[in-house]
Chains A and B, each alone.
Chain A
Amino acid sequence: EPEVTQTPSHQVTQMGQEVILRCVPISNHLYFYWYRQILGQKVEFLVSFYNNEISEKSEIFDDQFSVERPDGSNFTLKIRSTKLEDSAMYFCASIYGLQETQYFGPGTRLLVL
């Protein structure tokens, strides 16, 4: 069964550094999402992406964040200058059509020191 994959599984970085989190959505899916979950807290929506542009973003998704689909398979989340409070699990999800079930990747655990 096709799955969403994410790399790396863990990333440790210094505050102020740039990180890129990578996702490979399910191959025929058209809508892509990033969520994050700070330890012990709820899963929070960051951004949705369709047809090579952002369709919706949350207040969390400020100018430090960007997303890109650089080729036909990868979907990336870049944090330009990481802060301590960016430490969280970051999940990618994808769907084929709107209102369908979102399938989540295994996540990237980001630790900012």
Chain B
Amino acid sequence: QKEVEQNSGPLSVPEGAIASLNCTYSDRGSQSFFWYRQYSGKSPELIMFIYSNGDKEDGRFTAQLNKASQYVSLLIRDSQPSDSATYLCAVNGEDTDKLIFGTGTRLQVFP
């Protein structure tokens, strides 16, 4: 059974701080890695995707991938209260295009 694991949180950070969200996956053949943000009652909204080892930056967001450790992370710099949401890690494998999601980490950014 291919799994994606995330700490459910909540992760509480003050406004302006860096929030660090982590995810591990079990399928070593996984190719593509995604971070989605989900507000309560809404659909997942893509934040970042990453395919290669290393860091990928987009504005306040940085995704980090370490395939050897089967680990993906998302850093949110200068966190804002509007970043408060559940962050979903999703992975797909080399022989499938379906996304396998983690349970999500709830982030709370307090003023």
Contact = CB atoms under 8 A, between A and B. Distances in A.
Interface of A: 31, 33, 35, 41-45, 48, 55-56, 58, 89, 91, 95, 98-99, 101-107, 109
A91 B101 contact: no
Contacts of A56: 96-98
Given A42-B104, A99-B92, A101-B34, A48 B98 contact: yes
B46 interface: yes
B29 interface: no
Interface residues of B, number: 23
A103 B46 contact: yes
* SS of A interface (majority): strand
Nearest to B31: A99
A33 B44 CA distance: 14
Given A41-B103, A42-B102, A42-B104, A31 B97 contact: yes
Given A42-B103, A42-B104, A104 B44 contact: yes
